[in-house]
Structure formats: C-alpha cells, structure tokens
Amino acid sequence: MKKTLAALLGVLTMVSFLSACGPDMKKINEATDRAEADATKAEASAQQAEAAANKAEAAAQQANAAASGAEDSVRRANDAVSRLEALFASSVTK
C-alpha cells in the first residue's frame, strides 16, 4: 500500500511538473484531481488493511491461548487415565 501511495504521489508530482510546462491546464488539473482522489483511496485502503491485520493478530492470539488450554486439558486427562489404570492394576494384583 505504501508503494501505491508513493507511486500516486509521484504521479501527482509529474502532473504538477507538466502543469508548469504544458499548455492544457484543464486536462492537467483533471489528472491532478484524479491522482489526489486515487491517493486518498489508497490511504483509506491501507488503513483498512492495517485494521484487518490487527484483528487477525488478535484472533491468532486467542487461537494460541485456546490451543494451550486444550493441550493442558489433554495432559490432565492423560494423567487421570494413568492414575485410574494404576489403581485398577493395583486392585487386580491384590
């Protein structure tokens, strides 16, 4: 997005340069307006992309936390099964 913004600003600069040298000011002004509008749209898109990236990062952190909780639950369940097996084994051998 920053490259797009930089390119649009470059176009705006070129249009400004051409306006100083060229005879058709109406076309140059229209091109300048379009370049400014494109730059504004690009900036808005960049902000939306950044917001989406922040939301994705938060979701990834929540998923990591849930995965850690699930791993802990599996560990506790395996421990409980091991204890039950040990109790059963000791009761059968008595």
**pLDDT tens figures, 24-66:** 778 888 999 999 999 999 999 999 999 999 999 999 999 999 9
- Give percent above pLDDT 70 in the chain: 83
Q: How many domains does the chain have?
A: 1
pLDDT value at residue 2: 66
How far, in Å, are 1, 17, 76, 81, 86 from residue 73 at the CA level? 43, 67, 5, 12, 20
Average pLDDT of the chain? 86
> Which residues span the domain enclosing 49?
2-93
- Three-state secondary structure string covering the chain: CHHHHHHHHHHHHHHHHHHHHCCCHHHHHHHHHHHHHHHHHHHHHHHHHHHHHHHHHHHHHHHHHHHHHHHHHHHHHHHHHHHHHHHHHHHHHC
